[in-house]
A and B are shown apart, each in its own frame.
Chain A
Amino acid sequence: MAYIEIKDLKRAYVMSKDVSVEALRGVSFSVDKGEFISVVGSSGSGKSTLLNILGGLDWEYTGDVIVDGENIKGSDPNFYRRYIVGTIFQQFHLIPSLNVEENILLPYKFSKRKGEDVNQRLEYILKMVGLEDRRKHLPKELSGGQAQRVAIGRALIDSPKIVLADEPTGNLDSKTGDSIISLLEDLNKKEELTIILVTHDQKIAKKTERIITLVDGKNV
C-alpha cells in the first residue's frame, strides 16, 4: 500500500460570479514511503496548487489525499503542518531578524512536543545541512545556498514524515542547486524521508526516482 495516495484531486478558484479557474482537474498518483519523486510542469500547470494542498495550506479541494492510510481531511490542519509535512520554499522564507539557529528552531515555538532534547536535534540538523559554523549568522549574512540549507533545516526540525520542496533550486545557481539536491538525496536515504519536489527544471527532476508531469491541471 502506497504511503501517499492522491485520488482525483480537483481545485477550482472562483474568480468572479461567472468565472472560475480549474487549477487541478483530477490529479491522481501515489508515492511510496521513502520515495523521492518530482512533480514537473510548466507555469500554470497546477504544481503550486498541488503543493499547497499537500502542505496542508489549502483545504478547499475535492478528491482525497491519503497519508499513511488516513485521509488528511479528517486531521487537524495545524497538527498536519507541524508534524506530518515540512515545506521548503523557493524564496527560502526565513525570518530576517532571527539567526540560523533561531530560524531552524522556529517551528518548535509552535510545537507542543514536550520532553525532547531540542539542542541535540538542532546540532544534528546543523551538522546535516552543514551550517554548524554559521549558527549565529543572520539570513542577510548567508549565501543563497546557505539560506536554503537553513530552510531545509527548519523543515526537518520537527521530524516530519514528508518533505515538500517547492522549486528549492529556483533561486540558486546550478552548482549550488546541485548541492541542495544532493542534500535532499542524502536526507531521503539517511532519514528515509518521503520527498516530493516540485520543479519546472527537467534536469533537476531527472535526479529523482520518479517524475510526475502535470499538464493543465492533470497528470499525464
Chain B
Amino acid sequence: MFKYALDLVTRRKLRTMLTSLGITIAVMLMTFILFGMTDLETAILTQFNAVFKPTDLYVSSQEVRGFGASQSAPTKDAQEQKEEVIINDEIKTKIEEIDGVVDVHPMFVLTGFEVYLEGDDVAYPSSFVQAMDIVGDDEMFGSFIGDEVVLEDTGIFVSDYVPSYFEMSNEEILGKKIILKSSSTPAFIASSSRGGIDREYEFIVQGVVDTAGESFWINTSRALDILVEAGGFEDKDEYIELIGYSQLLVRTQEGKTTDVEEYMTEKLGLNVISTKTITDFISTLTSGLTIALIVFGSISALVASIGIINTMIMSIYEQTKEIGIIKAIGASNRQVLIIFLIQSGLIGLIGGVVGLGVTFGLMQLADPFLVDLLQEQGFTAIEKFFHFQSVNAIYITLGSILVGILAGIYPAMKAARLDPVKALRYE
C-alpha cells in the first residue's frame, strides 16, 4: 500500500511539490526559530560562561531587578535585615569564614562621574566605572591587550568598545590619559548628607579588555580614595562602615556554590546573584521567546495544512475512478483511508525534509557572517553559531509528517466513503 501511495504522490510531481512548499516554508520558519533560539541561548551562555565562572557569586546589598524572581527566596526576617545590610568589613569577614569560600574580592561602582579621554571635550557616553583588584589576564576577561597586567593606582583598564568609540586601535589607546570628573552629586553623597566636591582624577590606560559590556576598571584602593574624597568622608573606614562595598565577588569551591549562596541569602540577608541564577534567567527568557515564536510559526503550519487539505480533496476528484477500481478489486474503506493518509503524510515528509535541507544550507552560508557580527558585539567566545541539532531535526520532521497526516484525515475519510459504483462511473 505504501508503494501504491508513493506512486500516487510521485505521479503528480508538480502538485506534490507546490503543496509541499507550504510545509517547507513552515518548516524553514520553525527550524530558524527552534535552532536559532537554541543557538542564541547557547551563544549567550557560552559567552557568559567564558566571562563568569559558575563558582562565582556576586553579593550586593540592594536587590538587583530582573533576576529577583529566580533568586532563592529569602525569609521575611532576612528580607527585613537585607534592607539594612551594609556590606562592610564585618560582613566580608563573615563571608570569608563560610565553608567553601575560596576568596572574596570587594568591588565598587563609581556613579556620578563623567569619563573623558585626554584632549577630548566630549564625555564618553557610558560612565560605568568599576573598581576591583584584578589583573589583566584574569579569567573573567575574554582577552587582554597591554603590557602591565597588575592594575596600578593610576592605571585603568578599558573595554574594547572605548578605543573603537574614539576611532583608534586597541594598541593606540594604551598609555593615553583617562579623566574622571565628578560633575554631579554621587548617590552615596546624597544619602549620607555630605557635600559633594568637584574633582578630577587622572588615569593611564594600562590595558584593553575584550569583554561584553562597556566598562572601565580601576583598582579598589584608588576607588576608595576617590569615594572618600569626593564624598567628604573622614577616611576609608568611615566610608566602608557607612556606605560599604558596592559588591563582593565571592569565589567558591566547586560543589559548594549553592550552600554558600544559601548561607549568604538566608543567614546574612544578602542579595546574591549566582552564575546559575543568570543562566537560568537567560534560559527562561529564551524558552519564553521560543514558545512565542513557535505560536507564530504554527500559524504558517496551519496555512500549509489547509493547502494539503485542498490538494488532497482535488486529488480525490481526480482519483475517483481509481478509488472505484481499487475498491472493486478488494480494497477496503480502511485501506483507502490509509493510502490517502500515507499520501498526505508523504507530502508533509517531503516538505519537512526539503525545508530542513534548505534551512541548513542557508544556516551554513549565514554562519560566518553571524559569528563575525556576534564577535563584533563582544561575543568573543563564539566560534560557530548554528549547530545541527538532531533531536530538533527529528521533531521537525515528525511534526511535518503529523501536519500532513492531520490535514489528510478529512480528505482520506471522504475518499474511503466513496461508493465504488458511483466512483467507477465518474468521468
Cα distance A97–B7 when bound, in Å? 8
Contacts of B326 in A (CB 8 A): 106, 110
**A89 on the B face (CB < 8 A):** yes
Smallest CB–CB gap between A54 and chain B, Å? 12
Contacts of A86 in B (CB 8 A): 329
Q: Is the CB of B4 within 8 A of A109?
A: yes
Q: Is the CB of A110 within 8 A of B1?
A: yes
Q: Is the CB of A93 within 8 A of B330?
A: no
Q: Which of A87, A95, A97, A110 contacts B335 (CB 8 A)?
A: A110
Cα distance A109–B7 when bound, in Å? 13
Contacts of A110 in B (CB 8 A): 1, 326, 329-332, 335
With an 8 Å Cβ cutoff, the count of chain B residues facing the other chain is: 20
Contacts of A72 in B (CB 8 A): none
Q: Is the CB of B321 within 8 A of A109?
A: no
Smallest CB–CB gap between A66 and chain B, Å? 21
Q: Which of B7, B324, B330 contacts A111 (CB 8 A)?
A: B330
Smallest CB–CB gap between B401 and chain A, Å? 22
- In the complex, the chain B residue whose C-beta lies closest to that of A58 is B421
Contacts of A52 in B (CB 8 A): 421
Smallest CB–CB gap between A115 and chain B, Å? 18
Among B368-427, those with CB < 8 Å from A are: 420-421, 424
**A167 on the B face (CB < 8 A):** no
**B64 on the A face (CB < 8 A):** no
Q: Is the CB of A107 within 8 A of B421?
A: no
Smallest CB–CB gap between B236 and chain A, Å? 91
**A179 on the B face (CB < 8 A):** no
Smallest CB–CB gap between A182 and chain B, Å? 24
Contacts of B331 in A (CB 8 A): 78, 109-110
Cα distance A82–B327 when bound, in Å? 9
**A81 on the B face (CB < 8 A):** yes
**A177 on the B face (CB < 8 A):** no
Contacts of A81 in B (CB 8 A): 327-330
Contact pattern, B 293-331, Cβ under 8 Å of A = 1, otherwise 0: 000000000000000000000000000011011111111
Interface size class of A (residues with CB under 8 A): 20 to 34
Q: Is the CB of B330 within 8 A of A55?
A: no
Cα distance A4–B1 when bound, in Å? 32
Contacts of B7 in A (CB 8 A): 97-98
Contacts of B76 in A (CB 8 A): none
Contact pattern, B 323-359, Cβ under 8 Å of A = 1, otherwise 0: 0111111111001000000000000000000000000
Q: Is the CB of B330 within 8 A of A78?
A: yes
Cα distance A106–B3 when bound, in Å? 11
Q: Is the CB of B420 within 8 A of A57?
A: yes
Smallest CB–CB gap between B13 and chain A, Å? 11
Q: Is the CB of B424 within 8 A of A89?
A: yes
Smallest CB–CB gap between A86 and chain B, Å? 8
Contacts of B11 in A (CB 8 A): 97
- In the complex, the chain A residue whose C-beta lies closest to that of B5 is A109
Q: Is the CB of B327 within 8 A of A93?
A: no
**A200 on the B face (CB < 8 A):** no
Q: Is the CB of B325 within 8 A of A95?
A: yes
Smallest CB–CB gap between B182 and chain A, Å? 85
- In the complex, the chain B residue whose C-beta lies closest to that of A106 is B329
Interface centre among A81, A82, A89, A158 (most CB of B within 10 A): A81
Q: Is the CB of A154 within 8 A of B421?
A: no
Q: A82-B330, A106-B326, A110-B335 are in contact. Are A93 and B421 (CB under 8 A)?
A: no
Cα distance A110–B336 when bound, in Å? 10
Q: Which of A58, A97, A98, A107 contacts B329 (CB 8 A)?
A: A107
Contacts of A55 in B (CB 8 A): 328
Smallest CB–CB gap between A142 and chain B, Å? 17
Among A143-183, those with CB < 8 Å from B are: 154-155, 158
Cα distance A158–B325 when bound, in Å? 15
Q: Is the CB of B325 within 8 A of A109?
A: no
Q: A78-B330, A93-B325, A106-B329 are in contact. Are A57 and B1 (CB under 8 A)?
A: no
Q: A57-B420, A58-B421, A97-B7 are in contact. Are A109 and B327 (CB under 8 A)?
A: no
Cα distance A86–B329 when bound, in Å? 7
Q: Which of A95, A97, A98, A107 contacts B330 (CB 8 A)?
A: A107
Q: A52-B421, A57-B328, A107-B329 are in contact. Are A93 and B1 (CB under 8 A)?
A: no
Contacts of A154 in B (CB 8 A): 329
Sorted nearest first, the 3 A-B pairs with minimum C-beta distance are A82-B330, A78-B332, A110-B331
27 contacts between A and B (CB under 8 A): A57-B328, A57-B421, A58-B421, A78-B330, A78-B331, A78-B332, A82-B329, A82-B330, A86-B329, A87-B328, A87-B329, A89-B328, A89-B424, A93-B324, A93-B325, A95-B325, A97-B7, A106-B4, A106-B329, A107-B329, A107-B330, A109-B4, A109-B331, A110-B326, A110-B329, A110-B330, A154-B329
B residues engaging A (CB < 8 A)? 1, 3-4, 7, 11, 321-322, 324-332, 335, 420-421, 424
- Can you name 11 extra interface pairs (CB under 8 A) apart from A58-B421, A81-B330? A52-B421, A78-B332, A82-B329, A93-B324, A93-B424, A95-B322, A97-B7, A107-B329, A109-B331, A110-B330, A158-B330
